[in-house]
Amino acid sequence: MGQHDITPDMNVWNVIQDHPETIEVFRRHGCPDMSSGFFAMTAHAMKVKWAAKVHGIELESLLTDLNLAIHPEEDEGTLH
């Protein structure tokens, strides 16, 4: 993955604002829609690693899928 990867310590709000294609990845992994409403407020303060922990998501799987969403050319045909 490249130098602009999504990391565990990134703020969820910044991730979804910079990469709207990740909203669906968060949803697919069991997170609520964090682009609006109450969850948007929490997304401003929540790091990716805490979103994974709170929603019972395996962090490495979430990070892999988030990074594939923003770097689709790096997908080697692996389904996540």
Number of structural domains in the chain: 1
pLDDT tens-digit map of 32-46: 888 888 888 888 899
What range defines the domain where residue 50 resides? 12-73
Measured between alpha carbons, how far is 56 from 17 in angstroms, rounded to an integer? 23
- Is 1 contained in some domain? no
pTM, entire model: 0.84
Residue 80 in any domain: the answer is no
pLDDT tens-place string over residues 2-58: 557 999 999 999 999 999 999 999 999 999 888 888 888 888 899 999 999 999 999
- Taking CA atoms, 78 is separated from 2, 37, 61, 64, in Å, by 18, 33, 12, 10
Give a yes or no: residue 48 inside a domain: yes
Does residue 32 form part of some domain?
yes
Residue 2, in any domain of the structure: no
